[in-house]
Every structure is written in C-alpha cells, then in structure tokens.
A and B are shown apart, each in its own frame.
Chain A
Amino acid sequence: MMAVLELHQVKKSYGSGHTKVDALKETNFLADRGELIAIIGPSGSGKSTFLTIVGGLLSPTSGDVIINRQNLTDLNEKTRSQIRLKEIGFVLQASNLVPFLTVANQLKLLDKVKKGNISKSERNQLNEDLGIADLLMKYPSDLSGGQRQRVAIAKALYSNPSIILADEPTASLDSDRAYEVMELLQKVTKQKKTTTIVVTHDIRLVDFCDKVYKMTDGVLLALEKQDEKEINHIPQ
C-alpha cells in the first residue's frame, strides 16, 4: 500500500548560533490510510513543530514531506494552501471556530472556497454522525465545548481530506467529552480511511489509537502499543 504521508530526513531548527534550537531532529515517518496515530511527549519536545510541518504550514530546515506523492518542499505557498484545503483537515481548539458564523455557515464557507468535495447526502450523514444536525442554526458562543469540537471535526472532514491533523483536540474538554471526541475521530478514520494524527498530553486517549509515537527533545520514537509501562512513564 502506498503511504499517504511520508517524511524523509526531516529536520527543523529555529534560530541560529548559540540560540539555535533543534526542535525536530532528523525524522523519518510513514503513515497509511485508515491509521489513527497518537503523538505524545512533554511540553516543548517538538510535537507541534512536527504537526505543522506535516500540515504544510511550516517548512522544514531540510528533508522532504510527501503527501499523496506531492513533495511539499517543491511547492509555493499558494499551491501548499490549496493542498491544505483539499488534502488536510485541521482540528484545532474549540475557540477557533468563526465566532460570527452559525454552524451551518461555517460549513457553507468551506463550500464557497472549495466546491463540491462531498455530496449533499454525505454531508447530511456527516452532520448526523457527528451529532451536529440539530446545532446548525447556532453560533459557536451558544455551543458547549464538546459541541464546538464536534463542529471543528465536521469542518475538518468537510473537504473530505486524506489527512486529519489534530493538535490537542481535547484540551478544553472533560474526560467524558474527550473520549467522545476520540471515539469520533476513530470512527471517522476507519470509515473514511483517513490518516489521522493526534497530538496530545493525555495518555488515556492513546487507547483509541492504532499507533503511538513518543516525542522527546525533537526525536520521534515509535512505541509498541503493548508497551504500557513506557507509555505510563511519559512525563506530563
């Protein structure tokens, strides 16, 4: 099977001279369709750096990021932005919904900038699945944290992306809501055969994932799922 996402010897350093930070050391990484991947690790270890490089928002200092056979490093910002629109769904913190748009209009906006990726019935199904069908006329300020996050996931899925990137998607939620969101991501990943990468501090969420990576000081290391002990030793 062809990997959806490949990183070859990707490195990222910030600054130069004695202030230089190697946020991401040389990293190779592969991900397939239908995989839900967790990345855990202490604060400042380079998780967000990794995720933003994968999402084409940040250019690596060296190395190649290949999404569906397109090498991001070869592309200009405009094309990269189109790839973000088509191939990548970001799930961010709840506060990142557009405050002055109703749920329905949040989705409509995506429709306007990127037309017809999924059919109307698929869309309605998606709204049902995510449990937001009844919320369509509401503004973000009238939603609960969990509801907002579900809308955020709906937005990420709306353009039928092949990759979903979530940076701390459950940060603002209590455990029950957090599990709900993870179940949802799991369901979507399996149903839509997306590649989903979730960055999290919360090791309990790891149970939902197929693969777990640990980031320490810019080094990405695959963990065996059964290696619970290792996982449990991750500093918070």
Chain B
Amino acid sequence: MFLAWQEIKKNKLRFTLITGILMLVSFLVFFLSGLATGLADLNREAVDKWEASAIILTEESDKSLYQSFMSTDQLKDVEAEKTAVLGQLNAIATNGDNKKNISLFGINKEEFLLPNVTEGKAFEKANEVVADDSLKDEGFDLGDTLSLSSSDQQLTIVGFTEQARFNAAPVLYASLETFHLVKFGEVADQKKDQINGIVVQDDSISNLTQNEELKAIEIESFIESLPGYTEQKLTLNFMIYFLFGISSIIVAFFLYVLTVQKISMFGVMKAQGISSSYLSRSVVAQTFILSFIGTVIGFALTLISGAFLPAAIPVSFDLTSMMLYGIILIIVAMVGAVFSVLTIVRIDPLKAIGG
C-alpha cells in the first residue's frame, strides 16, 4: 500500500483521470441497474404485493393470465392454505382530460388480493375502484369518473394504493361484480363465475391441483412470462455485463501503460532485491484504491442524480444489488491489473542496470 499510495499522491492528475473514468463507468452501471430494477418493478409490483407463492392458470393459457379462462367452480380443485380469485383485463381509462392504459383486477374483497388503501377507502359498491397512486401523477384524482375503452361502464376512484402496477400498467382494483360488468356488459349476469386465475399462498407449490386442465405456476416464473419482462431484463443485464467487461479493459489498459512506463524503475527495485510479489501487490493495491474511490463516488452520484430525475423515468435503486455490482466492478478492475502484474514479473532486473 505504501508504494501504491505514495505514487497516487505524487501523480494526482494521472490517477484522478483513471478514477474519473472508473467513476463514470460505475455511475453507468449503477444507473442501468436502477433502470433494470425500475422497469422490473413496473411489471411486477402488483404481483409482489400478493406475497403469493403460485398462481393457478389453465394449462392451455401458457402462463398468460390474460389467456386463462376458468370458473370459480374450479376453486374446489385447488388445495392450498389460502386462495384468492382473480379476474383481469386491460383497458384504456380516461377521466375526460387524461388517458392511461390500465389493468383492471377483479377480486374478492375478503381475500388477500385486496391491497392496503393509503388514501380514500376500499371499494364497496359496484363500479367503485381503488387505483394505483401512480395515476395521480398522470392527472387522475379521488372521485374521478373513468370511462373505459372497451365498455360502457363508468368507474369511480374511491381510494388509492401504492406501488401497484402490473405489466407496466397501473392497476384498478374492483369487485368481481364490477369486473364482470366491464368485461361482459349486458351478459354479465350469465358469466358471473368467470375468472382468469386463482392466486395461492402456500408453503409448498407442488400438488396444488389435481385437475389436468389447470396448472400451478410459481410466482417468479409467472412474472418472467409477463410480456416483455424477460427480454427487457436480459437487455439491461447484457448492458451491465458489457460495462463490467469495458471497465476491466479500461483499467487493464491504463495500468498497463503506467506499468510499462515504469519498467526500468521496477527493474532497479528488483535488482535491489525488492520482490516481484511486493511490486505486484502494490499495483493491485493501487487498482483497489482507484476502483474503490471511483465506485464510491459513482454510487453517490447515482443516488444524487436519482433524486432529481423526473418521475417518468422508472429508476429504483435496490441497495443490495448496487452493492453487489459495486463489488463486482472493483473485482473486475483488479482482474484488469493482471496484465501489469505479469509485466512486472517478467521484468529482467539485469536490463535496468546493464549497460
């Protein structure tokens, strides 16, 4: 550390530049990870709120809630500690001024799918809904009357709940009755046992149903099958991994150039009997110091800039995964020091003093 730190102190500009680059890379990594988390939340928030272990859908729906049509009768084929029925449809809602894609959840008020109401009250009568409060940012309010694109029914927002988006659309929670009215209109009465799925809370996810037509799907797998979810995640993760690679190459390159400049100096030190391993440790320590400082500043910068971002950008910072990425960045940077270490080991002290 002694050698490493003294050199950094003497050559501040040089090392500030490297740290600066590492800082920008880490900023980008943290920001992308925030974006990845944010986009994932956008898709799964409402599902996470269920705190469920599985969802039962029809076999032929291929894990798509929207394509799964079943009836409340099938509840008797499901054996679990707790069950909740769910009807779901997508629509465009407007309060006259503003339009928004929404997802309507038809639920039983007594079951666990009913979210915490943070403002207003829970739905009671037909056509009353509790809405995700992100709609407030879109210009919707308590008491607003909503017209839906696919139905003549008019809904009223009676309450708000937090963090309830499903596949990027804010959720409106309503009774099954409301759901049926919206979905089937005049024939709602004949279809009042129609639902899309049964959400299950149980310790075990095996043997939830013996019915051949039904299939229990683990929640995580259900989320991954949401349209676009996995693709989005893969794209962002790919970018993050790519950045890891880039930062390792940048660090390797810079350190290598610095090391090559110092070859004769290292040679003299080796001639004096200072071991390659001492010199190598010094380079690795230097990399650690630089990447640590760069990553910490990048981290701080991410949090600061995150606070000033417009709400429309879906970033959400998950500290654990940020820590993990930070540690990976530092390790990856240190891997980049390997070339320098190899160079140092290969330096022939003879070259430095011969002549």
Contact = CB atoms under 8 A, between A and B. Distances in A.
Interface residues of A, number: 33
Nearest to A100: B10
A84 B353 contact: no
A96 B273 contact: no
Given A52-B350, A101-B6, A105-B6, A90 B11 contact: no
B269 A98 contact: yes
B2 interface: yes
Given A57-B353, A84-B273, A101-B6, A96 B268 contact: yes
Interface of A: 48, 52, 55, 57-58, 78, 81-86, 88-90, 92, 96, 98-101, 105, 108-110, 112-114, 139, 155, 159, 167-168
B350 A85 contact: no
17 contacts: A52-B353, A57-B353, A58-B350, A78-B275, A82-B273, A86-B273, A90-B353, A92-B353, A96-B268, A96-B352, A98-B269, A100-B10, A105-B2, A108-B2, A109-B2, A109-B3, A139-B10
Contacts of B185: none
A81 B265 contact: no
Interface in B146-183: none
Contacts of A85: 272-274
B354 A48 contact: yes
Interface in B227-280: 264-265, 268-275, 278
Contacts of B268: 90, 92, 96
Nearest to A89: B272
Interface of B: 2-3, 6-7, 9-11, 264-265, 268-275, 278, 349-350, 352-355
Contact of A100 (B11, B269, B272): B11
Nearest to A105: B6
Contacts of B9: 100
B7 A100 contact: yes
Contacts of A89: 272
Contacts of B269: 98
A82 B275 CA distance: 8
Nearest to A91: B353
A167 B353 CA distance: 8
Nearest to B350: A57
B4 to A, nearest CB: 10
A235 to B, nearest CB: 19
Contacts of B350: 52, 57-58
A52 B350 CA distance: 7
B271 A90 contact: yes
Contacts of B7: 100
B355 A96 contact: no
A96 B353 CA distance: 9
A84 B265 contact: no
Contacts of B271: 55, 57, 84, 90, 92
B311 to A, nearest CB: 49
A81 B275 contact: yes
Nearest to B354: A48
A86 B272 CA distance: 9
B87 to A, nearest CB: 71
Interface centre among A100, A112, A155 (most CB of B within 10 A): A100
Contacts of A167: 353, 355
Nearest to A98: B265
Contacts of A96: 264-265, 268, 352-353
A100 B273 contact: no
Contacts of A108: 2
A12 B275 CA distance: 25
A112 B349 CA distance: 20
Contacts of B265: 96, 98-99
B74 to A, nearest CB: 75
